[in-house]
Amino acid sequence: MLDPFATSGVSPREFPPDFVWGAATAAYQIEGAVAEDGRTPSIWDTFAARPGAVRRGETGEVACDHYHRSTEDVALVRDLGVGAYRFSISWPRVLSGRDGALNARGAAFYDRLVDDLLAADVDPWVTLYHWDLPQHLENAGGWPARDTAERFADLAAAVGDLLGDRVGHFITLNEPWCSAFLGYGSGIHAPGVRDGAAAVAASHHLLLGHGLAVDALRATAPGARVGITLNLYPVTGVDEASADLARRIDGLQNRWFLDPVLLGTHPADVVADLGPLLPDGLVRDGDLDVTSRPLDFLGVNYYTRHVVRPSAYPGTNAVEFGHRDLPSAANGWEVDPDGLTEILVRVARDYPSLPLVVTENGSAWADRVAADGTVDDPDRLAYLATHLAACARAREQGADVAGYFAWSLLDNFEWAEGYDMRFGLVHVDFATQRRTVKTSGEWYARFVGAAREILTP
């Protein structure tokens, strides 16, 4: 019989029976209800309210209204046929105010969500932190302050107590590079700080908080599997003259996070590159033992490759990100599935053996709703197919790729881009909150369904 997926370059037969198929979201991007049931402000509420911070001044105040429509959205996940759904906990919804007490009403939302997912035969994968630090903790110093790592451990313990009897997979942090260097370095993400030293301090305290959270989850949810999600990208110089620049960018983007988590060290060349931005006393004795707590899996978020060249302005440290004449998504990111294979194989080769789960992978396109209400998105479908094929190639080359989560289940609030960039398998009309499964979502559902049918004994 002709394989119906052969023309897309990937077959469900290329994945093992225990492969995890999923879709992913994040709390601030979909939940809305930012002032309901005891939720307090986060840094993203504050940042989005700042004039000019987010395109057209849009905010996550309503977003996809998931807080009120979670039952509908769980049904969408069930109908896609995926076996897993990755979502994040809103820290200011679960722990209220400066005392860090459990907010029972906010906690009840996640309690119900997990029960609904399990009733739909969907495995919940819970991310503890997807960028929505409570504003009162930012006021006290934020991630550049060491105490925030301890407060994050409090969140992990609370969520472990709340959900650990039913949740089998926890992810501590999502993309700490973004939290540190976009939030405190360039300032294009919340909290909008531009301070290189603060960004480096934040990067260390995020990973310290990760290790402390692993300890808290091991204590409160001993049966769960625990990991972290890093956004990893191959870094390529445009020419030989760009080789050292590529090394520096790779060091700060990838190895600055991989090495403390998986090796318990800091890469010496990056320490040298950072110089005075890495102050004495930031890393204390025993810290790297904490950041490298043993994990059960590593989450990898991948969207594109970084292609770099030195700035056209001599004497500056600026970097220009180039292109290689590949197709680009609506946000300008090149479509480069080979980069996903490359980074997965590299991690498997250079670091201790660990299952790798692609916890985010997706693309933004200028979707249009047809007159009949359908949303045909062939570019996103092709992106999914070629990147699933990239995962299969990585497995062939020895990487233990154990799962794949499409980003995203829903069109949502895309951070500083507001609602312009649509990544969803499901189209959301933000005026009416109507959900429509796109062609890509239908294809993904058929692919996952075929995988289950082929692999079921």
Which residues are known binding-site members for substrate?
A: 29, 130, 174, 303, 407, 414-415
CA quadruple 443, 444, 448, 454: dihedral sign: positive
Active-site residue, from 31, 58, 175, 334 = 175
Query: How many residues would you count in the chain?
Result: 457
Measured between alpha carbons, how far is 362 from 383 in angstroms, rounded to an integer? 7
Q: Is 31 a catalytic residue?
A: no
Closest to 321 (Cα-Cα) out of 333, 329, 331, 313: 333
> Do 120 and 72 meet the contact criterion of CB atoms below 8 Å apart?
no
Measured between alpha carbons, how far is 29 from 8 in angstroms, rounded to an integer? 30
Measured between alpha carbons, how far is 23 from 444 in angstroms, rounded to an integer? 10
**Residue 251, both tokens:** 């060091």
**Residue 345, both tokens:** 């194989």
Closest to 236 (Cα-Cα) out of 364, 159, 156, 346: 346
> Do 354 and 297 meet the contact criterion of CB atoms below 8 Å apart?
yes
Using the structure block, give the residue that is written with the tokens 């794949």. Answer: 404
Q: Is 175 a catalytic residue?
A: yes
Residues 118, 120, 123, 129, Cα dihedral to 10°: -80
Measured between alpha carbons, how far is 147 from 153 in angstroms, rounded to an integer? 10
Active-site residue, from 31, 58, 138, 360 = 360
CB neighbour list of residue 104: distance below 8 Å, 6 or more residues apart = 38
Binding annotation: 29, 130, 174, 303, 407, 414-415
**Catalytic residue positions, numbered:** 175, 360
